[in-house]
Amino acid sequence: MASNPVDVHDFVAIGEVADTTIQVIAMNLQQDWGRSRSRSRGTEAAERIVLEQARKYLADVREGFVLSVRTGQVMEKSELSYLLDRVLLDWDALSRELGLETEPEDEVLFEQALERVRSQLLAFGMAVVALGALPRLPAEEITFPVSYSKPPTYADIPVPVTPAEILSRIEEMEQMVWQFTMRKWGELLRRRYGPLRRTYGFFESSALLARQQSERFGLKKSRGRI
């Protein structure tokens, strides 16, 4: 279905979520490094909407992972146990929700379920590519406002390879997005710098990936190749 224009626009939409998410994070980190400051209700409401979109995107990534994972990929017994504990319960709920356990009685509802599966797999596939590209992002594309390396780099961030590593990174990012809503930015910088930087880098890599593909399909004007 690569030729379906809806797929391309869904891809662009993910990029927009990623782009607005890094803008919210960067703005809060840059303003007095998390110290108390006056904020309008409108700004806070807009940030809540952006972070909720980020949370929903990561939920789609997680569900896409559940749909994609195969126990044959798991080599260690301990990792298999981890996946069984953390994923299989999710799959039970998801399969019931999608109506995959029985033959569909309503063709329209079944098509809607399949469309949702498609969007989840798209979200997961894009996330995997973004995680893989993250350590290789060029310095000029890195905007994390509290980088201690000169020039800035994400080269030290490992690419998750096994299913357990991928799920662990997804969960870490979900937890960080939840922490963002608590607005304790100074505390995150002091105590959760690594997860904060990895989460920001993931959304930055996702935004760059979507922008490059949007330019390729002619949906956005090129800003120059990297």
pLDDT at position 18 is 96
Whether the predicted pLDDT of 211 surpasses 70: yes
DSSP at 87: T
Amino acid occupying residue 112: Q
* Cα gap 170→81, rounded to integer Å: 18
Amino acid occupying residue 73: Q
pLDDT digits (tens, 9 = 90+) for 186-209: 889 889 999 999 999 999 999 998
pLDDT digits (tens, 9 = 90+) for 127-173: 999 999 999 999 999 999 988 888 999 999 999 988 889 999 999 99
pLDDT at position 5 is 41
pLDDT band at 36 (very low <50, low <70, confident <90, very high): very low
The answer to whether 119 and 60 have CB atoms below 8 angstroms apart is yes
pLDDT digits (tens, 9 = 90+) for 117-129: 777 888 898 999 9
pLDDT band at 23 (very low <50, low <70, confident <90, very high): very high
* Cα gap 163→151, rounded to integer Å: 32
What are the b/e assignments for 1-25, b being 16+ CB within 10 Å?
eeeeeeebeebbebbebbbbbbebb
pLDDT at position 57 is 96
Question: CB neighbours of 184 closer than 8 A, spacing ≥ 6?
Answer: 34
Closest CA to 172 of 193, 190, 199, 191: 199
pLDDT digits (tens, 9 = 90+) for 175-187: 999 999 988 888 8
pLDDT digits (tens, 9 = 90+) for 38-90: 556 667 889 999 999 999 999 999 988 887 775 556 556 666 565 555 555 55
